[in-house]
Chain A
Amino acid sequence: MTAPGAPALVLQEGEFRHQETFGPGTVNRGAVLLECTWDGGEFESGVMLGGVFRSGTFRGGVFWGGVWLSGSWVAGDWEHGFGPDGAYRPRTDHP
Chain B
Amino acid sequence: MRVILASAHRYADLARLWHRFALRDLVPALRAAGAGVDVVLFRDAAPDAFDPRDFPGATLLAPGPGARDFLEFYDAALRREGDVLFLLDADLFVLDGAWAASFLSRFADPSVAAVSLLRRTEQPGVYALLARTAAYRELPAPVFAPSYEAPGAPGAVNRQPGDRAALALRSGGLTILDVPASEAEGRVSDFHGTTVIRASREVFGASLGPRFDALLSEKPYFAMGAYDNLLLGALHRTVFGAPYAPDADGVHLGGSATEETLRSALARVSDRTALVRFLAYADRSNRAAAGLFAREGLPFVPPRLLPRPRGWAVRAWGLARRAAGRPA
Contacts and interface: CB of A to CB of B under 8 A. Distances in A.
A5 interface: no
Given A80-B69, A88-B145, A92-B68, A46 B151 contact: no
Contacts of A56: none
A86 B71 contact: no
A79 B156 CA distance: 21
Nearest to B45: A91
Contacts of B63: 91
A52 B207 contact: no
A35 B66 CA distance: 28
A39 to B, nearest CB: 11
> In terms of DSSP, what is the predominant structure of the interface of chain A?
strand
Chain B interface size band reads: 20 to 34
B151 A67 contact: yes
Given A84-B151, A91-B63, A93-B68, A14 B209 contact: yes
Given A16-B208, A62-B203, A90 B68 contact: yes
Interface string B58-74: 00000100001101100
B152 A14 contact: no
B72 A13 contact: no
Nearest to A87: B147
Interface string B127-164: 00000000000000010011111111000100000000
Contact of A62 (B142, B204, B215): B204
B53 interface: no
A13 B207 contact: yes
A54 B203 contact: no
B310 interface: no
Contact of A69 (B145, B151, B204): B151
A58 to B, nearest CB: 16
Contacts of A47: 203-204, 207
A91 B73 CA distance: 11
A82 interface: yes
A49 B199 CA distance: 12
A64 interface: yes
Residue among B63, B142, B207 having the largest count of chain A Cβ atoms under 10 Å: B207
A14 B204 contact: no
Given A49-B204, A85-B151, A91-B69, 12 more contacts: A13-B207, A15-B211, A16-B211, A16-B215, A67-B148, A69-B151, A80-B69, A86-B156, A88-B71, A88-B145, A90-B69, A91-B68
28 contacts: A13-B207, A14-B207, A14-B208, A14-B211, A15-B211, A16-B211, A16-B215, A46-B207, A47-B203, A47-B204, A52-B151, A52-B152, A54-B152, A67-B151, A67-B156, A69-B152, A80-B69, A80-B71, A82-B151, A86-B150, A86-B151, A86-B156, A88-B142, A88-B147, A90-B68, A90-B145, A91-B68, A91-B69
Interface of A: 13-16, 30, 32, 46-47, 49, 52, 54, 62, 64, 67, 69, 79-80, 82-88, 90-93
